[in-house]
Amino acid sequence: MSRERFQAEMQSVQKDFLKLCDQSIDRLEESFSALIKKDIDTAQDIVKRDAEINRFEEGINDRVILLLTRQQPVATDLRRMVVLLKAASDMERVGDYAVNIAKETIRIGNEPFITSVELLEDMCLKATQMLRQIVDAFVEENTTKAKEIAELDDQVDEMYGNMIKQLMQLSSLKPESVPQITNLAFICRYIERCADLATNIAEYLLYLKKGQRFDLNN
């Protein structure tokens, strides 16, 4: 069994995973920016390019399955492969949320925002910061950074609660704006889910290093 070849193959798959992470997080930022700028063209483009990230994730899955078949890793090596599959799936989901936000942006169209979206912007900033941080932690296999993610997630959850409260209050004050309020509530939910996915990946990293499961979402 050639372990050098295994290590090289694994590093190559990890590089692909990092590319997937970059693409998904970039797509999320791009999609949110399109929302703020009311850039419908970019939003439509993001929806069109949805399949790219999906194909990338499928490619990673195929390579991991081939590595498992050929090299039959155990212990940390096996966990690294399993964690890679799960993390790739979560990062692909971040790409899906970017597409969902783009669809909401298209639905809102050129209508002015009925409320300040500053809190939403802060939320998105925090969520993308979490995603970037977990990618760094993943590269370094740094469990301390992974644990910090949980604290950031609590902040995002709090922002989410406040934003939803703000939108619910508005819905009774401006019933005619319920469609946009619903669009913004969905966007809010998508961003909060992206932060949760970063936390999931932090949990996978802890599992990879310690061989035990941790729940950072509670």
Partner 1 sequence: MVQTMMKNENNIKINVQSSQNVGEEITATNEKNTVFGTNNFNLWYGEHHALKEINLDIKENDVTAIIGPSGCGKSTYIKALNRMVELVPIVKTNGEINYRGRNIFDANYQVEELRTHVGMVFQKPNPFPKSIYDNIAYGPRIHGIKNKKVLDEIVEKSLRGAAIWDEVKDRLNQNAYGLSGGQQQRICIARCLAIEPDVILMDEPTSALDPISTLKVEELVQELKGNYSIVIVTHNMQQAARISDKTAFFLNGEVVEFDNTDKIFSTPRDQRTEDYISGRFG
CB 204 within 8 A of CB 86: yes
Residues found near partner 1 in the complex (CB under 8 A): 1, 3, 6, 72-79, 210-212
Cβ at position 78, least distance to partner 1 in Å:
8
> Could you give the CA distance from residue 1 to residue 42 in angstroms, rounded to a whole number?
49
Nearest to 31 by CA among 129, 91, 115, 106: 106
Q: How many CB atoms lie within 10 A of CB 109?
A: 11
Q: Which is nearer to partner 1, 12 or 72 (CB)?
A: 72
Distances in Å between the Cα of 216 and the Cα atoms of 10, 44, 67, 98 are 27, 35, 29, 23
Q: Which is nearer to partner 1, 77 or 148 (CB)?
A: 77
Cβ at position 77, least distance to partner 1 in Å:
5
Q: Which is nearer to partner 1, 78 or 106 (CB)?
A: 78
Q: Which is nearer to partner 1, 197 or 205 (CB)?
A: 205
CB 205 within 8 A of CB 136: no
CB 218 within 8 A of CB 149: no
CB within 8 Å of 36: residues ≥ 6 apart: 117, 121
Cβ at position 136, least distance to partner 1 in Å:
25
Cβ at position 14, least distance to partner 1 in Å:
16
Q: Which is nearer to partner 1, 6 or 214 (CB)?
A: 6
Cβ at position 24, least distance to partner 1 in Å:
30
